[in-house]
Amino acid sequence: MRNDDRLGVGTDNSVELRLPLVIGAIVLIFGIFVLRLFQLQILQGEEMKGIAHGNAVRLVRLEAPRGDILDREGRVLATTRPAFGVTVMPSELARPDRTLAALGMLIDQSSAELSQRIGSPQGRRRFQPVRLVGDLSYDHLARVESHLYELPGVHTDVRPRRHYVEGELAAHLLGQIGEVRKDQLQKRQYADYRAGEVVGQSGLEKVLERNLRGRAGGRNVVVDVAGRVVDVIGEIDPEPGAPVTLTIDLDLQRVAEAGFQPDVLGGRAKMGAAVALDPRNGDVLVLVSKPAFDPNSFPGGMDAETWKALTTDEWRPLQNRALSGQYPPGSTYKVILAAAGLQKGIVDPNEKVFCPGHFRLGRRVYRCWRRGGHGEVDLRDALKRSCDVYFYKLGLALGIDEIAKFSRGFHLGRRLGIPLREEMPGLVPTREWKERRFGEVWLKGETVSASIGQGFDLVTPLQLAVAYAAIANGGIVLQPRFVLQRTDPELGVVEASNPKILGQVPVDPEHLARIRDALTAVVEEPRGTGGRSRVPGVKVAGKTGTAQVVALKHTEDQEDDEIPIRYRDHAWFVAFAPAEAAEIVVVVLVEHGGHGGSAAAPIAQKILSKYFEKQRARAGEELAAVQVGSDAENR
């Protein structure tokens, strides 16, 4: 036997058998090639000719609309609308300077500003579109569309744009969105974001980003040399973000914000804050900070001049005063001393203290706000008429550290743990704090000032609302909440959980009841300082406060209108109603507004009036529904 046969090497016969197979394979491949050529040249000839002359296939990202933000009754506060924009593909800009100059003339923007927005993209970034303008007017859109052939690399598109239905209303709470920043793109939480994508940058837009953000889609398109879409060859629809329902009541928010207009304040300054919450569960019904800004200016990017005006404005319109404004509480702080005095047994509520209009400590004289004095007052009268001398004496009897202990019991001097990061802690001073901060011992005169909410003490309007809510509800300190319902990508619809309790104030219920009675007298009885907050048919409890901004002797005998605005006192008013079964707590601060009873109380009154007007209307509707049902059963 031949060695070739033993090794299995093919013979001439095997070659003859394989040859037809090889020829058949070649014919098959050639046939497929001819068929494909026929398809491209004959069946799809025109389409392929277009591509050969400059058409290209491009993946267009389809941004997802953000979820709507609704008030507690389902009314839209923030939504999405279509907006036309201009994008450029850096890799297609053959002559960038000339192209951007021509584009700038069409849309009335400088080429330098447009060039700055593009930057210097390198590598793969050159093939990623950059959005130059996010919200073109119809006039500008028409101009660009009619000149696209002269602008290689420039394209128009339509994308979802955030729209805040009420403009400035609740702007600080809702927050604003903007393009994701370079520093954010370096963080893990933004790993699936890309340059140019919008993201919540402040307020609830940022806190609820996970819920509000949708899932982007994509579209494969064929575009011609001018960047115009000539065909769509595939598409995946974007998934909109989920809606979020807030605790805010739009009607109350409108009334509160209108209260800061000049016609209501009689020409006084319009800076300040207002908070309203439900003392039974912590729901925030109103959150106002003035002056404000229009968040509609942010999504497409505002011009440098507008941004500079916002950031350099001496009245700080971007600051959320309700959460981060820290102010001396003034006489609203007297309830803390009253609670401490009653609980420690230092105060006999029936004991009279004489107020001659001043109090002497060593060589220094501390005046009462009422120059002629209040005469003989007990605790109830002292709160009702806001007697300073009574609380000077009580504060010295307690001492600053005891005052601080009870203040912290009402959760003052520390953050409330809400998700909004701009919240500030306020300040409750102690002997140890001053030693650590200034290297100085605490003075008795500083205790006198602290006793009426002056000196080092600082609170935010939201903190004060929480403290008074604890007085109103029997001593429970509740964490404020802003969201009633949201949809989590993993958990589905999430309802508001049970109220989060931060603590119980260290004051017996009977003492809190006595304080509520005194606060009711502030509003409802003659000579009370809060009479301008009365609501017909409802018992209101409240407390006025005037917080000194700066001690200037020459202003003591001047009228408010004669004092420069920045040196005028802040005006506070806090109220809750109904007094013995509170459903709503309202805090109003008017910066440099003067007196709480005249500047802040009228705003609180309007909020309370609107709340109870709605309650009566709702009760009437429920009664009518019951009657209709009863009539139907009797037929």
Task: For residue 463, tell me if it sits in a domain.
Answer: yes
Give the pLDDT confidence score for residue 615 in this predicted structure: 95
Same domain, 545 and 607: yes
Reading the block at residue 392, the tokens are: 């000077």
222: domain CATH number? 3.90.1310.10
Looking from the CA of 319 toward its CB, the CA atoms found within 13 Å total: 16
Q: What percent of the chain has pLDDT over 70?
A: 86
Same domain, 350 and 201: no
pLDDT in tens, 15-49: 566 667 767 777 777 777 777 666 656 655 555 55
Question: Which residue is listed with tokens 């953050």?
Answer: 415
Sorted by sequence, the CB contacts under 8 Å of residue 112 that are 6+ apart come out as none
Same domain, 522 and 600: yes
Same domain, 231 and 350: no
Looking from the CA of 594 toward its CB, the CA atoms found within 13 Å total: 20
Question: What secondary structure letter does DSSP report for 122?
Answer: -
Give the total number of structural domains in the chain: 2
Q: Which residue type is seen at 398?
A: L
Question: What secondary structure letter does DSSP report for 460?
Answer: -
Give the pLDDT confidence score for residue 8 in this predicted structure: 40
Q: Which of these three, 246, 274, 304, is where a domain ends?
A: 246
Task: For residue 39, tell me if it sits in a domain.
Answer: no
Nearest one of 433, 439, 410, 413 to 425, comparing CA atoms = 413
Looking from the CA of 64 toward its CB, the CA atoms found within 13 Å total: 20
Mean pLDDT of 253-263: 90
Sorted by sequence, the CB contacts under 8 Å of residue 605 that are 6+ apart come out as 532, 533, 534, 535
pLDDT in tens, 236-247: 999 999 999 999
Nearest one of 217, 205, 207 to 296, comparing CA atoms = 205
459: domain CATH number? 3.40.710.10
Question: How buried is 32 (Cβ within 10 angstroms: 0-12 exposed, 13-18 middle, 19+ buried)?
Answer: exposed
Residue 454 sits at φ, ψ, to 5 deg, of -115, -175
| Measured distance CA(537)–CA(357) in Å, rounded | 35
Task: For residue 629, tell me if it sits in a domain.
Answer: no
Same domain, 543 and 572: yes
Same domain, 142 and 220: yes
Same domain, 170 and 276: no
Query: Residue 1: pLDDT band by 50, 70, 90 thresholds?
Result: very low
Contact 164, 171 (CB under 8 A): yes
pLDDT in tens, 546-600: 998 876 554 455 566 677 777 889 999 999 999 999 999 999 999 998 888 999 9
User: When comparing pLDDT for 484 and 25, which is higher?
Assistant: 484
Give the pLDDT confidence score for residue 37 in this predicted structure: 66
Task: For residue 24, tell me if it sits in a domain.
Answer: no
* Angle, CA of 422, 426 and 429, to the nearest 5°: 155
Q: Which of these three, 246, 272, 303, is where a domain ends?
A: 246
Reading the block at residue 388, the tokens are: 């300073």
Element containing residue 37 per DSSP (H, E): helix 12-38
Q: Which of these three, 224, 246, 268, is where a domain ends?
A: 246
The number of helix segments (H) and strand segments (E) in the chain equals 23, 23
Same domain, 506 and 613: yes
Q: Which residue type is seen at 481?
A: R
Q: How would DSSP label each residue in 194-237?
A: -TT-EEE-SHHHHHTHHHH--B-EEEEEEE-TTS-EEEEEEEEP
Same domain, 371 and 517: yes
CA 125 to chain centroid? 33
Q: Which residue type is seen at 110?
A: S
Query: Residue 10: pLDDT band by 50, 70, 90 thresholds?
Result: very low
Same domain, 180 and 203: yes
Mean pLDDT of 69-88: 94
Query: Could you list the residue range(s) of the whole structural domain that residue 441 is in?
Result: 250-290+318-618
Task: For residue 296, tell me if it sits in a domain.
Answer: no
Same domain, 88 and 227: yes
What is each CA distance from 396 to 322, 359, 364, 445, in whole angstroms?
Answer: 31, 12, 15, 9
Mean pLDDT of 284-308: 84
pLDDT in tens, 199-227: 999 999 999 999 999 998 988 888 776 55
User: When comparing pLDDT for 96 and 543, which is higher?
Assistant: 543
Mean pLDDT of 610-622: 90
Q: What is the mean pLDDT of the chain?
A: 87
Task: For residue 308, tell me if it sits in a domain.
Answer: no
Task: For residue 157, tell me if it sits in a domain.
Answer: yes
| Measured distance CA(442)–CA(434) in Å, rounded | 7
User: When comparing pLDDT for 629 and 396, which is higher?
Assistant: 396
Size of the chain, expressed as the number of residues it contains: 635
Give the pLDDT confidence score for residue 227 in this predicted structure: 59
Q: What percent of the chain has pLDDT over 90?
A: 59
Query: Residue 77: pLDDT band by 50, 70, 90 thresholds?
Result: very high
- What is the value of pTM for the model shown? 0.84
- pLDDT exceeds 90 at position 450: yes
Residue 60's CB: how many other CB atoms inside 10 A?
17
Same domain, 173 and 272: no
Task: For residue 634, tell me if it sits in a domain.
Answer: no
